[in-house]
Amino acid sequence: MLTGEWEPARTALPSGTDERLDLDWELGVRATGLDLDEQVVRLDDGRELFYDGLIIATGASPRRLPGTEDLAGVFTLRTLDDVAAIRAAIDAGARRVVVVGAGFIGAEVAASCREQGLDVTMVEPLPQPLSRVLGERVGAVIADLHRAHGVDVRLGVGVEGIEGDGRVERVALADGSTVDADLVVVGIGVVPNTGWLEGSGLELEDGVVCDETTLAAPGVVAAGDVARWPNARFGETMRVEHWEHALDMAMHAARRLLAWGEGVTDVAAFAYEPVPWFWSDQYDRKIQLAGRPGPDDEMVVIAGALDDERFCVAYGRDERVTAVLAVNMAARVVRYRRALADGLTWSQVLEDAAASGS
């Protein structure tokens, strides 16, 4: 949509399911509170909704740069309105774009803006884009990709402040330099939307904390960007911000809730242990990641080479493969995702690497 290629209507949810599902929409109202004992969700129009079972899926909101709220031309990107506002700024003639943060959102914004011929500077305090997730070598590949497409990539430097008189004029960086800008897009991560659950008695810690089956309290489950749960496959409590994950976890949580309603006690059967999967399109590259790489994981190239247009790498620790990432090799990631679910070992991956000559 940011490139103008998609009309807003195309993003609408597939229709035609409502009447079959027998559900009531309450659009334009916000949940403001939860009472676990009374089994009631409070709404901002004063009403209270009683529930037998509750699914919390309030997602997350983009983190903002403090002190920029009143400055025109500074945007975050999450909703359709956000995209429309950025689009409108471009249509109104914005030409010099600063992208704050070189995570997946920032990198995609930078790519879409470059494809429209805008000047783009991308600022990232880490030594390489995504280096905390993907390591410095793969991070460097992403930085080079953006440089090759004409993005001015500034690494290892944070944003000191955004300056302008009512409207953004320049971005001041921590190294004392400034970058002129008429459009700033901030992509520095998200915060789970749990404000309405404060004081409800649910455990909140960077998300709604669930048990290993996605249950957060009796009769309450959570799913998607807002939910944190222990994933035994990775031995880690995680919150995943991926689209496919939101759908998958929602289905799991719904089944879990129904089982709770039916008094099912064999909760082990409901342990939620997915291999998260994510993709990101940047220019002509399709980056796909299955699994959950850790910052200190080993990394090995298992197909192609890092300076190729297509390659595949694996991450691992303690003889265990934690993740597989590929650029323009989507099918491989899908296959490895299955292998990861079946307990792919590091030595198997090394064999694959040897077989492909990498």
Partner 1 sequence: MTGENRFQSRWGSEMRVVVDFDLCESNAVCMGIAPEVFEVRDDDFLYVLQEEPPPELWDRVRDAAARCPKQAITLEG
CA 219 from chain centre, in angstroms, equals 27
- Residue from 134, 136, 132, 91 nearest 113 by CA: 91
Start-to-end C-alpha separation, the chain: 37
Phi-psi region of 191 (alpha: psi -120 to 50; beta: other; left: phi over 0): beta
CB 330 to partner 1: min, Å:
4
Q: Are 284 and 327 in contact (CB under 8 A)?
A: no
Pick the binder of ligand FAD from 106, 129, 139, 224 (CB under 6 A): 224
Pick the binder of ligand FAD from 119, 124, 182, 241 (CB under 6 A): 241
Q: Element (H or E) spanning 251, and its range?
A: helix 243-261
Site membership for partner 1, residue 283 (CB under 8 A): no
193 binds, among ligand FAD, partner 1, none (CB under 5 to 8 A by kind): ligand FAD
CB 247 to partner 1: min, Å:
6
Pick the binder of ligand FAD from 63, 64, 78, 285 (CB under 6 A): 78
Identity of residue 214: T
What is the full DSSP assignment across 33-68?
A: EEETTTTEEEETTS-EEE-SSEEE---EEE---TT-
164 binds, among partner 1, ligand FAD, none (CB under 5 to 8 A by kind): none
Q: Element (H or E) spanning 216, and its range?
A: strand 215-217
Distance CA(242)–CA(105), nearest Å, equals 12
Pick the binder of ligand FAD from 203, 205, 244, 309 (CB under 6 A): 244
Identity of residue 174: A
CB 145 to partner 1: min, Å:
17
Site membership for ligand FAD, residue 39 (CB under 6 A): no
Site membership for ligand FAD, residue 255 (CB under 6 A): no
Binding segment toward ligand FAD, per CB under 6 A, in 11-19, 133-141, 176-184, 224-232: 224-232
Q: Could you list the residues that contact partner 1 (CB under 8 A)?
A: 10, 14, 20, 243-244, 247, 277, 279, 281, 286, 288, 328-334, 337
Q: Could you list the residues that contact ligand FAD (CB under 6 A)?
A: 30-31, 57-60, 77-78, 105, 193, 196, 224-226, 241-244, 246, 278-280
